[in-house]
Structure 1
Amino acid sequence: MASIKVKFRHSSIAGKEGSIYYQIIHQRHVLQVNANYRILSEEWDEKRSMIICRTGSDRYDQLSSTREKIRLDIERLSKIIRELDLRGISYTAEDIVDNFEHYSREYSLFNYMLTQISTLKQRGKVRTAETYKAAFNSLRKFCNDDCIMLDAITSEMMEAYESSLQANGNTPNTTSLYMRILRAVYNRAVENEIIENRHPFRHVYTGVEKTTKRALPIHIMKKIRSLDLSRYPQTDYARDMFLMSFFLRGMSFIDMAFLRKTDLNHGYISYRRHKTGQALKIKWTKDMQHLLEKYPENPTDYLLPILTKTGIDERRAYRNISYNINHQLKKIAELVKADIPLTLYVARHSWASAAKAKGIPLSVISEGMGHDSETTTQIYLASLDTSVIDKANSIIIKSL
């Protein structure tokens, strides 16, 4: 069986840091693997082949971290050797090193996350990929771009990351979202038998807190609808898109932007949600048609006057338009004296609130929509006959 030794190479220059390397010995063949860790000569215990960590030293945290990384490297090398032995076939010291270097390339946390992000994009889950990328960028910043291996993720590391997110002003739900994304990536690696599950997320928050009130009462929605904004076309457009979202049962703006003309058939809009892929069907009403007819017909294949140019980066255009609309909605909030920040997403919450206020059964629109869980709401919607939901929508629109 192969053996592993941790070695220290002194610097040829006095007072300079030397380097750590691993010595792999198998069938009398010796290979060296550079570990890319550097320490001073006095920080190395030659007899015990380990780093000296003196409590109170300025370099204590750094040296402790390096010692833990070495321990994990040796654990990986030992695992590789055990797996090669179990195969029952001949192998060389070069095979051990090749496997170790392959693991280091493929199964660093960042490389593995980037692979997951790429897979999500290929499957058309662009929004989810963007959320994963945000979590990736946040964690990379926390780690100062230091390469972290998947099996090096610990409970202590995740607690420190959570504290960092909180200190930087992130809300509990944002912090929890990043933790859930990392947990999903970690669990995928466990399922693929790349690492063993050490449950590093057991002490961090991964729940979802109720958000602050985001729904407008129906009398404020009436004020928004009756505003004369003819002198302010950008603000008028923002109001119309806000109302269109409300009329369309709180449809998210990304789904509105990518609605195609072919999605409107026989008086119904049929589409799949970008976020969940769930198929929905909405009755097209005269109120929706009136808003649509205020604007020139979209020259593209899209139905609504949102993405109106061809040959553009549609995702970027959608984000810019969304940003501009939300900016204009702040002005509208001031005009109607709304007591909450007004954004496109408020239309979704407001529709749910209006449904509840009109006595629509919770089986039609669950109380969780906009308050507890959007996913739960979609499950309720999917289980009902479309005509029931359309009837509820008609009641709400007529109340404006």
Structure 2
Amino acid sequence: MATIKVKFRPSSVSTKEGVVFYQVIHARVVRQISTGYKLFPSEWDDKTSAVSLFQCPYGRYDYLLSVQKRIEEDTSCLQRIIVRFDRCGRHYTADHVVQAYCSKGENGDFFSFADELIKHMHYAGRERTAETYTTTLNSFMRFFKNRRDLYLDEIDSNLMIAYESYLKSTGLTQNTTSFYMRNLRAVYNRAVDCELTVQRYPFKYVYTGIDKTVKRAVSEKIVRKIRDLDLTLHPSLDYARDMFMFSFYTRGMSFIDMAYLTKKNLQGGILSYRRHKTNQQLFIKWEKPMQAILDKYDTSSSPYLLPIIKNPHTDPRRQYKTATHFVNDKLKKIGRLLDVPVVLTTYVARHAWASIAKSKNISLSVISEAMGHDSENTTRIYLASLDTSLVDKANRLIINLI
């Protein structure tokens, strides 16, 4: 019977990560399977042939845990292959085991391929992409009545048209249906790139564009009302309002960036951080209103600056997502209390900052830099949908002339 061993090969450069690989041993023949899972030497336990999860630095725990789970899944898969070969009673070699392992998912099954792709996205640290693919796959499975017997060669334009009709029947907007279609197309195209199927362009008759959304900015008058609203008797609403205002005070910082701020990000009166979306580093002068929000909450036992990720020892991304839903739900209630003309969410704070800055004739280059956009053109597109009041005034002027 063949055996499996999990090994770690450190990098020749002491400061770089090494790689995990598997050994398949049968009839004294050893074959290797590379995994692409990268670890530092301190993150590997040779005695147990497993990832070391003890005393790992902040920000690495989730990744290390996911690698360990993946290793367990891989070795379990290899063991099942070996058991199957042994039960057949036929002669096989270590090469046969490796070939069977490497060809898993190459049977043309769409859902198996998508599952593998999502796992790889997780292990590559592309959590947001993995989450959007998972959401899309769950939707597609509901349409497919939870069956998993769809082959890549069966994906054609008729199926996608039917799926789009299904999405529309559930009341989704065109932008939302397009979101699902774009993600599904990305997964399909990856399968084409892997030469698991030929390109049949199944998405050519469904909508995959992005419609112009309604403006989500609010005026400075409304922001002031949100700030001054007495929420003493409603602590959960008060907390949501504070997170909204902190985003506004920090030039429309996104909620995910707020969640991952640590106390080390605030040094010498300057708040510095890297945007999750673009990795661009931004610097913000610390102001009194920001400190006033911090002073309301006890985060002395946490490495994080804000009370969003409250337990550093559990999954931070799950805490961030839970907090996002909670805060947005409370902000919607605040919006109804104040009769705000748009649905109030954390993202409205970012739109509001940009819109108000534009109304005060702050230059495009300054707004672009403040918001962390990679170019002024991005900012120009961003601002285009925020405020049409000047166009409306011009139209009224022309009408009054005749």
Query: Is the Cα–Cα contact under 8 Å of residues 250 and 347 in structure 1 kept in the other structure?
Result: yes
1:251 and 2:246 aligned = no
Residue 217 of structure 1 corresponds to which residue in structure 2?
219
Residue 361 of structure 2 corresponds to which residue in structure 1?
359
Q: Flag the 1:204–1:300 CA change in 2: closer, same or farther, 3 A.
A: same
Aligned-residue offset at 1:194: 2.5
| Structure 1: distance between partners of 2:247 and 2:300 | 18
Using the size of structure 1 for normalisation, the TM-score is 0.64
Query: Is the Cα–Cα contact under 8 Å of residues 181 and 208 in structure 2 kept in the other structure?
Result: yes
Q: Which deviates the most, 217-226 or 318-327?
A: 318-327
Query: Is the Cα–Cα contact under 8 Å of residues 299 and 309 in structure 1 kept in the other structure?
Result: no
Aligned-residue offset at 1:260: 1.2
Aligned-residue offset at 1:119: 1.4
Q: Flag the 1:155–1:383 CA change in 2: closer, same or farther, 3 A.
A: closer
Query: Is the Cα–Cα contact under 8 Å of residues 365 and 380 in structure 1 kept in the other structure?
Result: no
| Structure 1: distance between partners of 2:275 and 2:377 | 12
Query: Is the Cα–Cα contact under 8 Å of residues 215 and 346 in structure 1 kept in the other structure?
Result: yes
Equivalenced residue count is: 279
Residue 90 of structure 2 corresponds to which residue in structure 1?
none
The match for 1:303 among 302, 305, 312 is 305
Residue 32 of structure 2 corresponds to which residue in structure 1?
none
Residue 378 of structure 1 corresponds to which residue in structure 2?
373
| Structure 1: distance between partners of 2:153 and 2:249 | 49
Aligned-residue offset at 1:103: 7.1
Query: Is the Cα–Cα contact under 8 Å of residues 298 and 305 in structure 1 kept in the other structure?
Result: no
1:328 and 2:323 aligned = no
Aligned-residue offset at 1:231: 2.7
Query: Is the Cα–Cα contact under 8 Å of residues 125 and 274 in structure 1 kept in the other structure?
Result: no
Residue 261 of structure 1 corresponds to which residue in structure 2?
263
The match for 1:191 among 165, 185, 193 is 193
Aligned-residue offset at 1:106: 4.7
The match for 1:283 among 285, 291, 308 is 285
Q: Flag the 1:259–1:230 CA change in 2: closer, same or farther, 3 A.
A: same
Residue 292 of structure 1 corresponds to which residue in structure 2?
294
The match for 1:232 among 226, 231, 234 is 234
Matched residues, percent identical? 48
| Structure 2: distance between partners of 1:196 and 1:238 | 49
Deviations 1:279-330 (A, max 9, x none): 3333322221221122223411111122222433333322332222223223
Residue 123 of structure 2 corresponds to which residue in structure 1?
122
Aligned-residue offset at 1:222: 0.8
Aligned-residue offset at 1:102: 5.0
Query: Is the Cα–Cα contact under 8 Å of residues 259 and 303 in structure 1 kept in the other structure?
Result: yes
Query: Is the Cα–Cα contact under 8 Å of residues 176 and 208 in structure 1 kept in the other structure?
Result: yes
Q: Flag the 1:180–1:299 CA change in 2: closer, same or farther, 3 A.
A: same
Question: SS state of the match for residue 178, structure 1?
Answer: helix
Q: Which runs of no fewer than 5 residues in structure 2 stay unpaired?
A: 1-95, 380-402
Deviations 1:69-106 (A, max 9, x none): xxxxxxxxxxxxxxxxxxxxxxxxxx9xx99x957655
Question: SS state of the match for residue 303, structure 2?
Answer: coil
Residue 389 of structure 1 corresponds to which residue in structure 2?
none
Residue 132 of structure 1 corresponds to which residue in structure 2?
133
1:173-188 matched pairs, under 5 angstroms:
173-188=175-190
| Structure 2: distance between partners of 1:143 and 1:229 | 46
Aligned-residue offset at 1:220: 0.4
Deviations 1:157-206 (A, max 9, x none): 11111111111111111111111111111222222222221111111111
Letter in 2 for 1:134: T
Aligned-residue offset at 1:331: 2.9
| Structure 2: distance between partners of 1:205 and 1:382 | 25
Q: Flag the 1:212–1:253 CA change in 2: closer, same or farther, 3 A.
A: same
Q: Flag the 1:103–1:330 CA change in 2: closer, same or farther, 3 A.
A: closer
Residue 28 of structure 1 corresponds to which residue in structure 2?
none
Q: Which runs of no fewer than 5 residues in structure 1 stay unpaired?
A: 1-94, 385-400
Question: SS state of the match for residue 283, structure 2?
Answer: strand
| Structure 2: distance between partners of 1:382 and 1:269 | 26
Query: Is the Cα–Cα contact under 8 Å of residues 257 and 307 in structure 1 kept in the other structure?
Result: yes
Question: SS state of the match for residue 281, structure 1?
Answer: strand
Using the size of structure 2 for normalisation, the TM-score is 0.63
Aligned-residue offset at 1:381: 6.7
Query: Is the Cα–Cα contact under 8 Å of residues 158 and 201 in structure 1 kept in the other structure?
Result: yes
Deviations 1:327-360 (A, max 9, x none): 3223321332211221112112212211221222
Aligned-residue offset at 1:382: 11
| Structure 1: distance between partners of 2:294 and 2:376 | 25
Query: Is the Cα–Cα contact under 8 Å of residues 128 and 275 in structure 1 kept in the other structure?
Result: no
| Structure 2: distance between partners of 1:182 and 1:280 | 34
| Structure 1: distance between partners of 2:260 and 2:108 | 36
Higher Cα Rg, which structure:
1
Q: Flag the 1:206–1:382 CA change in 2: closer, same or farther, 3 A.
A: closer
Query: Is the Cα–Cα contact under 8 Å of residues 127 and 274 in structure 1 kept in the other structure?
Result: no
Residue 142 of structure 1 corresponds to which residue in structure 2?
143
Question: SS state of the match for residue 282, structure 1?
Answer: strand
Deviations 1:211-244 (A, max 9, x none): 1221111100011111222232222111111100
| Structure 2: distance between partners of 1:231 and 1:125 | 40
1:24-39 matched pairs, under 5 angstroms:
none
| Structure 2: distance between partners of 1:123 and 1:197 | 26
Aligned-residue offset at 1:256: 0.8
Q: Which deviates the most, 256-265 or 355-364?
A: 355-364
Query: Over aligned residues, Cα RMSD in angstroms?
Result: 2.8
